[in-house]
Amino acid sequence: MVEILHRSVALEMDLRLEAAAYSEMAENVDAETDFRLPAVNWELTGRDVLVSEWVDGTRMGDRAAIVAAGHDPERIAASVVQSFLRHALRDGFFHADMHEGNLFVDPEGRLVAVDLGIMGRIGPKEQRFLAEILYGFIRRDYQRIAEVHIEAGYVPAIHSAEDFAQALRAIGEPIHGHRASEISMAKLLGLLFEVTEIFDMQTRPELVLLQKTMVVVEGVARRLDPDFDMWTTAEPVVRDWIDRNLGIAGRIEQAGDVIGAMAKLAGRLPEMALRAERLGKEFDRLSEAGLRLDRESVEDIGREVARRGRSGRIAVWVIAIVAAATALTALGFSVLH
């Protein structure tokens, strides 16, 4: 965790990299109607200076001002969480410092995010893990949540999925049917950490910023809407991801990826066949002629054999055989690669 935060701080110190994050994320959210980023002025931006357009909006931390501007704080609260989940699940690239000081509401009611010095990235494996975990809690499918943890390698397979599901039920059931204001996120996380420790689940570095940001955005949403329900709000975004990636459309897209990979492999078949042929010829030559040591090596071994006793002679020849085998392995590796 410390190493990840150290790298984040190092990246945050070069404002050209932050400007690049603005640019990348702006492309990702270009079609969104409830979230945007200020444009970067690249001509005036350098390592120590970042210049962007002026943000005309209301501070996220001023709920009274948001209401006075004619905005619905409950809708804004939902947008904070849903935009974060969209970016994490859809893009694998998200604002990892979404506290109230970095968020504004513009006159059109859109969220405007600033200070992209700390960004999070997750890969397809983590995206699927996040989606299935959230969806499992929403549907109260604790067995599936347990299976996802084990499939992802986050919980060792030596543990029973049924036992882990039982432990997850002890965490999930208390939060269902209660108002958000009645649920202590700190207590919930405490229970989760206790359970995962029992089942040998280590802290996942790739999920640190994701977990941290999820807690932060829920806190922002609850200050806007004291009755905010994280699970109900997350459900449409998570369900869309599940339908898109694990439904029929997702299967078709995955099939297309497989076909593309096979096409790339087919393009490399002639080269691979040539390498295999060369490797086969080399093994044929070695099987016919045997492994040969040069004259200098044989003379060195002879002198060493004469100097040492019987046990020493055995050890020397073992070393010679290992050296020859290593040379053969290296030869095969060079032919393959």
pLDDT for the residue numbered 279:
76
Cα angle for residues 88, 91, 94 (degrees, 5° grid): 45
pLDDT for the residue numbered 143:
93
Q: Which of 217, 238, 243, 242 is nearest to 78 (CA)?
A: 217
How many CA atoms lie within 13 Å of 281's alpha carbon, on the beta-carbon side? 7
pLDDT for the residue numbered 333:
46
- Same domain for 210 and 150: yes
Cα–Cα dist 196/162, whole Å = 14
- Same domain for 214 and 117: yes
Token readout for 190 is 């405490």
- The active-site residue out of 14, 30, 97, 257 is 97
pLDDT for the residue numbered 258:
58
Cα–Cα dist 83/78, whole Å = 8
- Same domain for 314 and 223: no
**Of 246, 268, 302, the domain-final residue:** 246
- Same domain for 224 and 147: yes
pLDDT for the residue numbered 86:
95
- Same domain for 327 and 195: no
The verdict on whether 97 is a catalytic residue reads: yes
Give per-residue burial for 265-285: e unless 16+ CB within 10 Å, then b: eeeeeeeeeeeeeebeeeeee
- Same domain for 319 and 227: no
- Same domain for 193 and 327: no
**Of 246, 278, 312, the domain-final residue:** 246
The residue to which tokens 């029992």 are assigned: 198
Q: Which of 176, 188, 181 is nearest to 222 (CA)?
A: 181
pLDDT for the residue numbered 112:
97
Cα–Cα dist 102/284, whole Å = 68
**Of 216, 246, 276, the domain-final residue:** 246
**What are the pLDDT tens digits along the chain (337 aa)?**
788 778 878 777 889 999 999 999 999 999 999 999 999 999 999 999 999 999 999 999 999 999 999 999 999 999 999 999 999 999 999 999 999 999 999 999 999 999 998 899 999 988 998 899 888 888 889 999 899 988 888 888 889 999 999 998 988 887 776 666 666 665 666 677 778 778 888 777 777 788 888 889 988 999 999 888 887 888 899 999 999 888 665 555 555 555 665 666 667 777 777 777 777 777 677 666 665 666 776 677 677 666 655 555 555 555 556 555 555 555 554 444 4
Cα–Cα dist 141/275, whole Å = 50
Instruction: Give pTM, 2 decimals.
Output: 0.69
- Same domain for 153 and 30: yes
Length of the chain: 337
Task: Answer yes or no: is 48 within a domain.
Answer: yes
- Same domain for 231 and 82: yes
pLDDT for the residue numbered 94:
96
State which residues form the domain around 202: 2-246
- Same domain for 223 and 295: no
Burial class (CB within 10 angstroms; exposed 0-12, middle 13-18, buried 19+) of 139:
middle
pLDDT for the residue numbered 59:
95
Cα–Cα dist 233/216, whole Å = 15
Q: How many independent structural domains does the chain possess?
A: 2
- Same domain for 304 and 235: no
pLDDT for the residue numbered 227:
85
For residue 314, is it left (φ>0), alpha (ψ between -120 and 50) or beta? alpha
Average pLDDT value for the chain: 81
